[in-house]
C-alpha cells in the first residue's frame, strides 16, 4: 500500500501521472483539509451559536452586563507610553507587543487603548495576535482575560479552533506548513478538474477521419478551470505588484485595500473572460507566461522602491521566493507550449 501511495508514474501516459500526483497530494493533505473544514464552522458560526445558547439559557435575560467605566483619578497625569509598555510586559510576559492604538485621548474617562500581542507559543484568538483593551489613563491593573494565558477552559477550546484555522501558532514553521498544504489544496482542485477533462476528451483514433468534436460541457469546464485557477494566481501576483507601487502614494489603509481588491477582481475576471474567448489551449501558456513575467519583475520593483524611498530591502526573501516561482511557472509555460504543439487535432489542448 505504501509503495502504491508514493508511486508517481511519469511517462507518455499523462493521465496516469496526473492521477498518481492527485492521489498522493490528496491523501497527504487530507488531515489538513479536514482540520480546516471543522474549524471553519466554529470560526464562522460561533456568534450565532452563542446567541442561540444564550436565548435558551437566559430566556431573554442578559447573561452578562457591560463592565463599569474605569474611574480616572484627578488630576489626570500625562500619558506615559513607556509606562504602559512596562505594565503590559509585566502582566503579559509571554507575549510581544505587535502594535498599540489609542482613541479619545482628549477625554480621559472615555479613552481606550488596544494592544495587539503575539506569541508563537500561544493559541491566538485573532489571525495574528491576542488583544488587550484598557483605558490608558487607568492606574488599576489591565484586564488579561482576553489572553490565552488567562483564558478559561471553554474559551481555550474556542481559541484552539481559531488558531488551528489561521495557523498562527508555532511561529514561521507552522506558517510555511500551512502555505504548503494550501498550495496542495489548490493543486488538488486543479488536477481533479484536469482528470475530469482528460477522461471525457474524444480522441482521434483514425487520422483519415475528421477531427472529433468535443462536448460543450467539457470545453466549458476546461475554459473555466484554466481561467479561474490561473486567473486567481495572476490576480494575486498583480495585486502584489500594485501594492508595492501604491506604497509610494501614502494612501490611507482603506484606500489601499480598495485598490488591491478591485485590482484583484479586475484581473481575475478578465482572465476568465479571455479564456472563454480564445479557448483553454491558447490561454494556458499565455497566462502562465504572464504570471512568470510579473513574478520576475517583483524583485526589480522592490529594488527601485527601496532606492526611491531610501529604505532597506528587509523582505528580500519574498523576492527570492517569487523568483523561484517565476522559474517554475516559466517551466510550466514551456510544457504548455509543447503540449499545444503536439496535441491531437481536434483536442481541447490543440
Residue 321 within a domain:
no
Report how many domains make up the chain: 1
User: What's the CA gap between 187 and 288, in Å, rounded?
Assistant: 15
Q: What is the dihedral angle through the alpha carbons of 307, 310, 316, 319, rounded to the nearest 10 degrees?
A: -40
User: What's the CA gap between 41 and 46, in Å, rounded?
Assistant: 8
Q: Is the dihedral of CA 194, 197, 199, 202 positive or negative?
A: negative
User: What's the CA gap between 50 and 42, in Å, rounded?
Assistant: 11
Q: Could you give the 3-state DSSP secondary structure of residue 213? A: coil
Q: What is the dihedral angle through the alpha carbons of 268, 270, 275, 277, rounded to the nearest 10 degrees?
A: 160
Measured at the CA of 64, the angle between CA 61 and CA 67, to 5 degrees, comes to 135
Where do we find the cell 470545453? 219
Backbone angles phi and psi of 92, in degrees to 5: -130, 70
pLDDT at position 304 is 80
Instruction: Supply 197's cell numbers.
Output: 477533462
pLDDT at position 294 is 94
User: What's the CA gap between 129 and 95, in Å, rounded?
Assistant: 9
Q: What is the dihedral angle through the alpha carbons of 20, 22, 25, 27, rounded to the nearest 10 degrees?
A: -80
Residue 125 within a domain:
yes
Q: List all residues 6 or more positions away from 134 whose beta carbon is below 8 Å from its beta carbon.
A: 70, 112, 113, 142, 143
List, in sequence order, the alpha helices (H) in 279-345: 280-309, 316-342
Instruction: Dump pLDDT digits (tens) for 138-197.
Output: 888 888 888 888 888 878 888 888 889 888 888 889 989 999 999 999 999 999 999 888
Residue 142 within a domain:
yes
Terminal Cα distance for the chain, rounded: 37
Strands (E) located in the chain = 96-103, 112-118, 130-134
By C-alpha distance, which of 226, 314, 233, 292 is closest to 267? 233
pLDDT at position 46 is 75
By C-alpha distance, which of 193, 311, 200 is closest to 248? 311
Residue 159 within a domain:
yes
Residue 103 within a domain:
yes
Residue 327 within a domain:
no
- Which residues in the chain show pLDDT less than 70? 1-6, 10-12, 53-76, 204-209, 211, 249, 253, 309-313
User: In which domain, by residue range, is 101 found?
Assistant: 81-166
Question: Whole-model pTM?
Answer: 0.77
Amino acid at each position: 500500500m505504501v509503495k502504491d501511495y508514493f508511486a508517481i508514474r511519469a511517462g507518455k501516459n499523462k493521465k496516469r501521472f496526473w492521477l498518481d500526483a492527485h492521489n498522493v497530494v490528496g491523501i497527504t493533505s487530507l488531515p489538513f483539509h479536514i482540520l480546516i473544514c471543522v474549524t471553519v464552522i466554529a470560526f464562522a458560526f460561533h456568534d450565532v451559536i452563542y446567541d442561540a445558547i444564550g436565548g435558551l439559557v437566559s430566556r431573554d435575560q442578559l447573561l452578562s452586563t457591560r463592565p463599569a467605566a474605569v474611574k480616572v483619578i484627578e488630576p489626570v497625569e500625562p500619558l506615559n507610553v513607556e509606562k504602559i509598555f512596562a505594565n503590559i510586559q509585566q502582566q503579559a510576559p509571554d507575549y510581544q507587543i505587535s502594535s498599540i492604538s489609542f482613541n479619545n485621548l482628549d477625554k480621559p474617562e472615555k479613552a481606550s487603548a488596544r494592544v495587539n500581542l503575539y506569541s508563537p507559543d500561544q493559541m491566538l484568538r485573532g489571525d495574528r495576535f491576542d488583544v488587550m483593551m484598557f483605558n490608558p489613563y487607568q492606574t488599576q491593573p489591565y484586564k488579561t482575560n482576553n489572553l490565552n494565558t488567562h483564558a478559561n477552559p471553554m474559551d481555550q477550546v474556542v481559541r484552539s479552533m481559531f488558531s488551528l484555522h489561521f495557523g498562527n501558532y508555532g511561529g514561521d514553521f507552522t506558517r510555511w506548513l500551512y502555505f504548503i498544504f494550501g498550495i496542495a489544496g489548490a493543486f488538488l482542485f486543479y488536477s481533479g478538474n484536469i482528470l475530469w477533462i482528460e477522461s471525457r476528451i474524444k480522441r482521434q483514433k483514425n487520422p483519415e477521419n475528421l477531427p472529433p468534436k468535443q462536448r460543450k460541457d467539457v470545453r466549458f469546464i476546461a475554459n473555466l478551470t484554466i481561467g479561474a485557477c490561473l486567473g486567481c494566481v495572476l490576480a494575486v501576483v498583480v495585486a502584489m505588484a500594485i501594492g508595492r507601487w501604491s506604497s509610494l502614494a501614502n494612501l490611507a489603509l482603506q484606500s489601499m485595500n480598495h485598490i488591491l481588491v478591485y485590482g484583484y477582481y479586475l484581473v481575475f475576471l478578465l482572465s476568465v473572460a479571455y479564456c472563454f474567448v480564445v479557448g483553454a489551449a491558447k490561454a494556458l501558456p499565455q497566462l502562465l507566461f504572464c504570471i512568470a513575467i510579473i513574478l520576475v519583475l517583483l524583485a526589480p520593483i522592490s529594488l527601485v522602491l527601496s532606492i526611491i524611498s531610501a529604505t532597506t530591502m528587509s523582505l528580500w526573501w519574498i523576492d527570492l521566493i517569487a523568483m523561484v516561482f517565476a522559474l517554475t511557472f516559466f517551466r510550466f509555460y514551456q510544457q504548455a507550449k509543447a503540449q499545444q504543439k503536439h496535441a491531437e487535432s481536434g483536442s481541447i489542448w490543440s
